[in-house]
Amino acid sequence: MLDYDYIIIGSGFGGSVAALRLAEKGYKVAVIEQGKRYQANDFPKTNWNFRKYFWVPKIGFYGIQALTFLKDVFILHGAGVGGGSLVYANNLLVPSDEAFDNPLWGGPGWKDRLSPYYDKAKTMLGVTKSKVVTHADELLKECAEDAGVGDTFHVNDVGVYFGEPGKKVSDPYFNGKGPDRTGCTLCGGCMVGCRHGAKNTLDLNYLYFAEKLGVDIIPETKVIDVKPNDSNTYKISVKKVTGLLKRKNQYCTSGVFFSGGVMGTVKLLHQCKLRGSLPKISHQLGNFVRTNSEAIQGVVSKGRDIDFSEGIAITSGIYPDKNTHIETCRYGKGQGAMSLLATLLVDKHDYIPRPILWLWKIICNPLVFLRSINPIGISEKSTYVLVMQTISNYMKFDYKRRWWRLGGKSMNSNCDTDQKVPAYIPIANEYTRRLADKIGGDPAASITEIFFNTSTTAHIMGGCIMAENSDKGVIDYKGRIFGYNNLYVADGSIVPANLGVNPSLTITAMSEYILDQIPDKKLK
């Protein structure tokens, strides 16, 4: 007996779309999410509250920010009902034409094909131009003007309600049918969890309306296996993530959407393939994983004359060249925990390892180093530099036994490809230094890049890319997993190329496209 017509694994920008659109088509739907469900006042006041901010369930940390360190990449990703929308920086941008030139899209025309779905996603996510331009934005514009590209400066599209600050109003997006909203207070706390109801997270749009249509959301639950039954249905095995007993359960469904993001979907499909539950999954699983060719760096002011923490997380960007997009970012007042992942900026040398260059810089500039490790007021003194490129590069994610796990299996990265993911992007260092000069501060870089030659990204993509057959990809151009009936993928893992901008809107649009291909439920 069927429990559901469709079970969706994950509640982010893909899973939330699937939940609403399937419910609208008449299907009985459940969403299984390993993270917790949060209300606005559940979020921590600062990210120094590690237990409420970080997602490390093995030690009782049940927050919204997950961190995963692999051999070639350090990944920041979301957890909770609403997925990455809880922790992302509100930016909802359409990529440039260059992002769609990669042949892994399977041919031209994808930007035009997705255009109506971008519009649909914008409506649902409440896209608007940022209503604030910060001092850091103005300095970024000056950097662009100095380099002769000042005309590329732009205010970003964001998913934020800019009403009267702190004032609650009836739903301004869906003719009063959605939840009440509160005007943004410009506190800068977007990436720690919006405590005011101004950020357009998925629980306030897609998931909100999905539940109104009867969708069941099952939080704090992890899917551990997906296995076909004899009768063209699937058995979903789950276990509780929180609590002491970690209770297990099973559901029966006729269809499944894998929407757990790269770190959830690729890992689960690897596990199902290796244990023999879904043996026909393409050997391309885990291939063409991308970091959005990204660098996350920063600048720390020497003084406290200007509070760089005020505003929303990201407000503007520039294009120093046709392949590169640069944004300034911020955390709110007192939210400086992520500074623990930063250190002094050094370039890459052909012969001298970067840790040696780093040590020499400390010897030559001890006061700069001491300033860099002082966490007091760090968010107020800092602006972060987010650099993303459309330049093609990728790695592979596999799942196998590891000696350091005493024979246990885990997912890891392999950068042995013809287009290696960079851990050093020269133009990122250039513009970080330009901005540091404007602020009169010290440039900083990610610790993982300096010491481990490991890329850092908040926008991991790929691993289940679309293709015309299973020799080239994992899913077809309708989102269906090759070799299986009614198994789909809709999340960041289907994005086949570096977008060069924040990917949330594209993931939503691609998911809307996939869901549009599914027919309405036939009434008996």
Which residues face 481 on adjacent strands?
475
Q: Which residue is catalytic, options 77, 196, 270, 459?
A: 459
Residue showing tokens 């990436």:
191
- Tell me, what amino acid is at 514? I
> How far, in whole angstroms, is CA 469 from its chain's centroid?
27
271 near 399, Cβ under 8 Å?
A: yes
The token pair at 273 is 């393939």
What backbone phi and psi angles, to 5 degrees, belong to 429?
Answer: -65, -40
The rounded radius of gyration (Å) of the Cα atoms in the chain is 22
Tell me the three state secondary structure of residue 176. Answer: coil
Which residues face 311 on adjacent strands?
187
The answer to whether 196 is a known catalytic residue is no
The token pair at 57 is 């369930």
Tell me the three state secondary structure of residue 305. Answer: coil
DSSP-derived letter for residue 3 is S
DSSP per-residue string spanning 123-147: HHHT-EE-S---HHHHHHHHHHHHT
Question: What helix, strand, coil percent values describe the chain, rounded to 5?
Answer: 30, 25, 45
Nearest-angstrom CA–CA distance, 467 and 473:
5
| Pick from 80, 400, 83: nearest CA to 241 | 80
Helix (H) or strand (E) holding 21: helix 15-24
DSSP-derived letter for residue 187 is B
388 near 428, Cβ under 8 Å?
A: no
| Pick from 379, 328, 489: nearest CA to 46 | 379
Nearest-angstrom CA–CA distance, 184 and 165:
5
Nearest-angstrom CA–CA distance, 275 and 271:
6
Residues with catalytic roles: 459
